[in-house]
């Protein structure tokens, strides 16, 4: 419910804006290529919970300050608790991102490495500039993959390719990331903002309930059977036919105009 998760205040590490249904979350640690500090992990979780609960948020865009997306965890910022407790704290944000009903877009410029790469892949759509770079850098740091990467990568690129990316940790340019399906769209750097805005505006103008249900159906596809899937589709479509938005869509079609969705 809106109000259960108030909008977080801007901090040294996270900045949030909301305009006409499009929420933008910016990672702010440019001196370390927007690496995520211990404080920022908790701030991300709060921001994702707010965006997922606020009806005014129709779409969330995640980006980084300046010319970089996110270089992963700031490993110079050691936790003062047991590592397992710290990683469970980190994972709260990962789970909150994936629990969001509204569409999410990663706007990737520059580096997206480690948890930063998996933060991008955790979004529903990824738009990258032609100077973006992607790396599951964990093995180069003596670490195993995290922030949902072990679940995300096989779904995006298949098991064997996922093992290549995670075990060998190659640096991928944007063109290769697009070719193998990690990126939805690659554009010149000076066109990145326009490309992200075009998709964000289209999603923000769409029917929130129907989009949320479509997203949920697709997210469950890998763990469901076809009979279960079509039954879930029927249940979702029944909900849609009871909404004001579907009635508005039908009126707009007859009247040859664009529909105005309210999420009711």
What is the model's pTM? 0.94
Q: Which residue has the tokens 């899937």?
A: 229
In 3D space, the residue among 52, 55, 48, 42 whose CA is nearest the CA of residue 12 turns out to be 42
Residue 2: the pLDDT is 45
Taking alpha carbons only, the member of 107, 109, 111, 4 closest to residue 49 is 4
Would you say domain 208-255 falls under CATH 2.60.120? no
CB atoms near residue 170 (< 10 Å): 12
Handedness of CA 50, 52, 55, 57 (dihedral sign): positive
Mean pLDDT for 183-211 is 97
| Residue 145 neighbours by CB distance under 10 Å | 23
Query: pLDDT category, 10, cuts 50, 70, 90?
Result: confident
Percent of the chain with pLDDT over 90: 92
pLDDT greater than 80 at residue 155: yes
Query: What are the distances in angstroms from CA 259 to CA 150, 159, 196, 250?
Result: 40, 41, 22, 8
pLDDT tens by residue, 41-65: 999 999 999 999 999 999 999 999 9
Asked if 190 contacts 135 with a C-beta cutoff of 8 angstroms, the reply is no
Say how many C-beta atoms besides its own lie within 10 A of residue 93's C-beta: 24
**Mean pLDDT, the chain, whole residue set:** 95
Largest CA distance in the chain: 62
Q: Is 112 exposed, middle or buried (0-12, 13-18, 19+ CB in 10 A)?
A: buried
Convert the pLDDT of each residue in 17-47 to its tens digit: 999 999 999 999 999 999 999 999 999 999 9
Q: Is the predicted pLDDT of residue 105 greater than 80, yes or no?
A: yes
- Residue 135, SS3 per DSSP: strand
Tokens in use for 125? 């759509």
Quickly state the pLDDT bin for 83 (edges 50, 70, 90): very high
Q: Tell me, what's the pLDDT at 77?
A: 79
Look at residue 7 in the predicted model and tell me its pLDDT: 85
Q: Is the pLDDT of residue 1 over 80?
A: no
Q: Where are the domains of the chain?
A: 14-204, 208-255
Residue 49, CA distances (Å) to 7, 11, 208, 249 in order:
9, 16, 17, 29
Domain 14-204 -> CATH class: alpha beta
Distance CA 100, CA 59 (A): 10
The mean per-residue pLDDT over the stretch 80-84 comes to 92
Contact 28, 34 (CB under 8 A): yes
What are the tens digits of pLDDT across the range 213-259? 999 999 999 899 999 999 999 999 999 999 999 999 999 999 999 99
Where is average pLDDT lowest: 17-31, 77-91, 128-142?
Answer: 77-91
Predicted local distance difference test score (pLDDT) of residue 6: 82
For residue 23, which phi and psi values (nearest 5 degrees)? -90, 135
């Amino acid at each position: 419910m809106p109000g259960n998760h108030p909008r977080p205040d801007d901090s040294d590490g996270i900045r949030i804006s909301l305009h006409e249904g499009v929420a933008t979350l910016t990672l702010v640690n440019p001196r370390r290529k927007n690496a995520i500090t211990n404080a920022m992990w908790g701030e991300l979780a709060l921001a994702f919970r707010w965006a997922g609960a606020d009806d005014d948020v129709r779409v969330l865009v995640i980006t980084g300050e300046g010319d970089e997306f996110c270089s992963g965890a700031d490993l110079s910022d050691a936790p003062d608790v047991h590592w397992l407790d710290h990683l469970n704290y980190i994972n709260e944000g990962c789970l909150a991102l994936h629990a969001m009903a509204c569409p999410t877009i990663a706007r990737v410029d520059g580096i997206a490495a480690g948890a930063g790469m998996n933060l991008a892949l955790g979004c529903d759509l990824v738009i990258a500039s032609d100077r973006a770079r992607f790396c599951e850098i964990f093995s180069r740091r003596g670490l195993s993959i995290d922030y949902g990467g072990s679940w995300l990568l096989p779904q995006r690129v298949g098991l064997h390719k996922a093992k290549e990316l995670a075990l060998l940790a190659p640096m991928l340019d944007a063109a290769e990331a697009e070719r193998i399906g990690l990126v939805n769209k690659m554009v010149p750097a000076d066109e990145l903002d326009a490309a992200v805005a075009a998709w964000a505006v289209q999603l923000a103008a769409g029917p929130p309930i129907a989009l949320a249900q479509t997203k949920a159906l697709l997210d469950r596809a890998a763990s469901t059977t076809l009979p279960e899937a079509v039954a879930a589709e029927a249940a979702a479509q029944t909900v849609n036919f009871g909404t004001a938005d579907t009635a508005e869509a039908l009126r707009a079609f007859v009247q040859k105009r664009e529909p105005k969705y309210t999420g009711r």
